[in-house]
Amino acid sequence: MESLYYKKSANNNVQCELCPHMCTISPENAGICKVRINKGGTLFSENYGVVSSIGFDPIEKKPLYHFYPGKVILSMGSLGCNLQCQFCQNWQISQVAADKYSEEHGNYSSQQILELALSGKNNIGLAYTYNEPTVFFEFMLETAKLIKSAGLKNVMVTNGYINPYPLTELHSYIDAYSVDLKSFNIDFFKKYTKSTLEPVKETLKSIIKAGKHLEITNLVIPTLNDNPKEFEQMCSWISNELGKNTVLHISRYHPAYKMETESTSIDKMVELNEIAKKYLDYVYLGNVLLPEGNNTYCSSCNVLLIKRSGYLTSILGIGKDGNCRKCNQKIFNYFK
């Protein structure tokens, strides 16, 4: 399918305008994402309809803890990514070139995915995840329109590296965003992801301005992005720019792909958790088995609202109106 958001130039070159890389692509070559290819002066989305993985997940796995907890969501991913993270957890599908598709990757139409979503018991909608959804923008947009028209919810699990205009178009259809804020250090972004920080910050602000549900994940990698001062700066920025009720997931790192750095220590996770709680009302620990690390408490009276054990969720203290049953404090955000 022909790509959206690009312009043609001399000598059959094209410039992709989907993400901040703004790749200039010569004929028969791909952009950084490996899946948007210039064919004779026209940019094509080579992963359109290609599905590497699809299935029903707990909504908490996205991770989203304040968006219809206890429900399930159909999750699908394709191939490619516009970042090159050395610590990628899904590198087998995110760092693959368009011409390396294997037979195991299926092809779906948007209508087929809608029908599957409608068939799921307790399913609230569709999550675009596993690889970076930005790079299958056209298929995501088409499918999201169908999902929304059917009364279901759309969730985008993303690195946030997308230009303002396509992001604004998505706001009309995406209900919730789970954004991976990989660091608050510009040099980290440049060295370990081959991207930059500022566009991600702008994406986060755009999501809040659009009134969409947002939760942020920060994967803590020992010695690389675990500096307490930088982490505190990040938490302060989130609180001031996005709101102190913004949900933050602090996720423990385990060695993956090209980075054999040791796993994040429990002590470090606890330390950063205490820092984050000075600025934010809702902070959770990911990839860590700690008592109460994933429970939700009222930000006003501290009563237990949601108890979580793995992906088992028990809603205890929140009414149908989304308020704390004890003190009537409004709890951010969707609890139906």
pLDDT in tens, 87-110: 998 998 999 876 666 555 688 999
Residue 224 lies in a domain: yes
**Burial (Cβ within 10 Å: 0-12, 13-18, ≥19) of residue 208:** middle
Structure confidence at residue 16 (pLDDT): 98
Is there a single domain that holds both residue 234 and residue 279? yes
Q: Tell me phi and psi for residue 72, to 5 degrees.
A: -115, 160
For residue 7, the one-letter residue type is: K
* Residues 247/241, Cβ–Cβ less than 8 Å: no
Is there a single domain that holds both residue 17 and residue 124? no
Q: Spell out where 94-175 has E strands.
A: 106-107, 123-128, 153-158
Residue 10 lies in a domain: yes
For residue 31, the one-letter residue type is: G
Residue 91 lies in a domain: yes
- Strand 106-107, strand 50-51: pairing: antiparallel
- Strand 24-25, strand 14-16: pairing: antiparallel
Residue 307 lies in a domain: yes
Is there a single domain that holds both residue 272 and residue 326? no
Weakly modelled stretches of the chain, pLDDT under 50: none
Count of domains forming the chain = 3
Is there a single domain that holds both residue 156 and residue 178? yes
Domain hosting residue 309, numbered range: 295-336
Residue 1 lies in a domain: no
- Tell me the per-residue pLDDT of 58-73, one tens digit each, with 9 for 90 and over: 999 999 999 999 999 9
Is there a single domain that holds both residue 149 and residue 30? no
State the Cα–Cα distance between residues 125 and 96, nearest whole angstrom.
27
Is there a single domain that holds both residue 159 and residue 10? no
Q: Which residues of 235-271 are buried (b: 16+ CB within 10 A; e: fewer)?
A: beebbeebeeebbbbbbbbeebeeeeeeebeeebbee
Is there a single domain that holds both residue 154 and residue 19? no
Residue 193 lies in a domain: yes
* Residues 8/20, Cβ–Cβ less than 8 Å: no
Is there a single domain that holds both residue 127 and residue 38? no
Is there a single domain that holds both residue 26 and residue 153? no
Q: What is the CA radius of gyration of the chain?
A: 20
Count CB atoms within 10 A of the CB of residue 149.
Answer: 10
Is there a single domain that holds both residue 192 and residue 235? yes
Is there a single domain that holds both residue 34 and residue 167? no
Is there a single domain that holds both residue 233 and residue 113? yes
Residue 326 lies in a domain: yes
